[in-house]
Structure 1
């Protein structure tokens, strides 16, 4: 297939099938990171290990993903993306197969690290989707792909629990391996070949990520919005299982897993954020999404005694977080078309770190202050983001007024 530049490949009639395939791919691949989480008790029995050892193994997966964000995602600007995706997905397939067949916890953990490292393929797909979309459609296309990714995160635990119950724990990772392999083949055939945007040595490529952060104030601002909203996402989902497993709910693992479907509804609702971004409403809708996220925690706090309030609160929270995220990526990808992967690296590293911080704080606060403490903590982050947005809004208004008067 003849190589094309990023500008040449964009077309007003980008295939909905290709966009849908990329959305499914991001969801299926990111799910590989989360399949083990609802199976911790089973894995502890199978490998005759204590809960700390199993928890460390799951942490290794997340560490691998963090390293992949920092070290592999920038290659999307240096290496032809289609080839890079094929290599990453092939390695992820082997890692998932090794997890399914692992004879010991050490082998399982090593394979999980490989899966974490190479599952950053999803963060190569997202900026690739922006490249393929025609001007005026980027927000809509990116929102579709990102909705698939968030659905993969939310549904992975439910799928893992149901498959393990029906066919055993090994079938969960075997299914992941098969899906990842199929995705690699389908994407190889469906995606065009797009020429790399830069030619530089690998150390210089990594160094340029920090330079982008220094030089692009919009990137820094959107990194802050992303960090403050995704941290609250982690605050909720880290402790939600404790709430639902205890009084007054006393739900089992299957019921808790199915509750994640309310988050999926929020993700689907936020898909419309891309269309609004394409119409130039990014600034105003960002403020609305941040406010929705902050206010959702009033309902989430009430969720200690009302499952209806909890469900509506989760739907609104996920919608706000996802809508903000789509707006963020729509803006940062447009900053420098030749550096989309490196811009995504800077943004997603801060995003991932904030999730880890939110998760750790949520566990500590739940033990000390129960669910009301989690609700206060979760609402604090988007409330702070609302303050930042208000400062940005008034500063922008003053600049526009000054420009209008010629002063």
Structure 2
């Protein structure tokens, strides 16, 4: 599809799609106790309600997101939103825990509409605006993850936990109609079969150095993110604070402030600074844990740390997706799906290790775990810079034919991508520091 301008209203709708869809996975966390009570689920089995959506999401990343490289992404987004609504409806009306788990798993399976949406906006955006548009749309993901904590906390304390999923189901249907009527069609990659796309994902994970480094960064990045948000309720719900569900949910507003503050990360990436953004963000992420660990006398240090952490996570996340979609423009869906599979595994690891560390040694141990993950991501980034694993090396990124002047321009012109921003040689993106 020919690149075009994505209007502000279209970006807004796509960001809402991401926010609402991802909310169906995380909405159960703030109301976990209430949901378990309503479904007669034993306290030690509450984790199955959280795991159901995550497992469904992981399966969808591997099996459904690659469809975006085969069929019209606009139609796919519409269908996935309707199916997400169906899963949320089942969860809202579930008479027992088995039906609720099924509904949550179905909602998580089709919530991968988020990644199809990111691939869509990357495909239809002009190269000079790709980072900006990806940043605007993916901000909806963080808004959904954090904002639903506030929404679910309030609704859970006033109306009941089922109202959260009933509302999300209605919003999914409304957004499906909006997508159908306001977005332009996108035919994906013509002539490519689904089996070929799945095979390309395997080759990507084995051979593409840019993807391997960015996938590892995503794994540790969201391991750190999951460590905070899966474990934050534990110290806040006990002495000396003893905060309730609604109050704990309001901490999501601090995370929202940080995530929205990183909205310009896409613009910075467009100007050729994606690699530098990642390194700076990961360093900031590591430092933020020094503040997050200080919860004894005041919560203001914690709040500042949350803002910094979510700013850093969003900035690194946007820069990674910018680089990967620029390098694999014709396989954006499968690349994003594989990348987000790393994200999903990292989030799950963070959730598991933070509860274990807290129950064993307390909140300071959880913070050390989160800082270790972010430091590992920073090390991966540094090694990638040192070894040159920052440029395109996989399929979907073949350069244009070499110009006649190449022979006299010197060997440096034969590079397949810009050293600074990893833009392919045939990219028309304006980069003030292009170095081939």
**TM-score relative to the length of structure 1:** 0.92
Structure 1 distance, partners of 2:6, 2:108, is 30
Within-5 A mapping of 1:6-405 = 8=2, 10-11=3-4, 13-395=5-387
SS at match of 2:71: coil
CA distance in 2, matches of 1:62, 1:111: 12
Residue deviations 1:253-309, cap 9 Å, x none? 111000111100110111111110000011112111011001111111223433111
Q: Distance in 2 between matches of 1:69 and 1:189?
A: 26
For residues 396 and 101 of structure 1, the distance between their equivalents in structure 2, rounded to whole angstroms, comes to 53
Q: Is the CA contact (8 Å cut-off) linking 2:135 and 2:264 kept in structure 1?
A: yes
* Larger mean Cα displacement after TM superposition, 335-344 or 44-53: 44-53
What is the Cα deviation at residue 165 of structure 1? Answer: 2.7
Offset, 1:246: 1.5
What is the number of equivalent residue pairs in this alignment?
394
Is contact 1:97-1:174 (8 Å) kept? yes
Q: Following TM superposition, by how much is the alpha carbon of 1:215 offset from its aligned partner in structure 2, in angstroms?
A: 3.2
Matches of 2:339 and 2:355 in 1, distance apart?
Answer: 25
Asked whether the equivalents of residues 292 and 320 of structure 1 are also in contact (C-alpha less than 8 Å), the reply is yes
Unaligned stretches of 5+ residues in structure 1? none
* 8 Å contact kept, 1:243–1:304: no
Structure 2 SS opposite 1:195: coil
- Return the structure number with greater helix share: 1
Question: Quick one: structure 1 residues 100 and 259, their matched pair in 2 at CA, closer, same or farther if it must change by over 3 Å?
Answer: same
* CA distance, structure 2, for counterparts of residue 388 and residue 44 of structure 1: 40
**Conserved in 2, the CA contact under 8 Å of 1:304 and 1:310?**
no
Cα distance in 2 between the residues matched to 1:116 and 1:392: 33
Work out whether residues 304 and 371 of structure 1, in 8 Å CA contact, stay in contact via their aligned partners in 2: no
After the TM superposition, which of the residue ranges 297-306 and 357-366 deviates more from structure 2?
Answer: 297-306
1:333-365: per-residue Cα shift (whole Å, max 9, x none)?
A: 011211001101111111111111121111111
Question: How much has 1:394 moved relative to structure 2?
Answer: 4.1
Give SS of 2:30's match.
Answer: helix
C-alpha change, 1:169 and 1:387, in structure 2 (3 Å) is: closer
**What is the rounded CA distance, in whole Å, between the counterparts of 2:370 and 2:184 in structure 1?**
42
- Structure 2 residue matching 1:38: 3-state secondary structure: coil
Q: Deviations over 1:198-239 (max 9, x none)?
A: 434433321210112233211111111111111100111121
Out of 189-198 and 34-43, give the one that drifted further: 34-43
Cα distance change, pair 382–46 in 1 and its aligned pair in 2 (3 A): closer
Query: Tell me, what secondary structure is at the counterpart of 2:46?
Result: helix
Tell me the CA shift for residue 105 of structure 1: 2.0
Give ranges in structure 2 of 5+ residues lacking alignment. Answer: 392-410, 413-436
Structure-2-length-normalised TM-score: 0.86
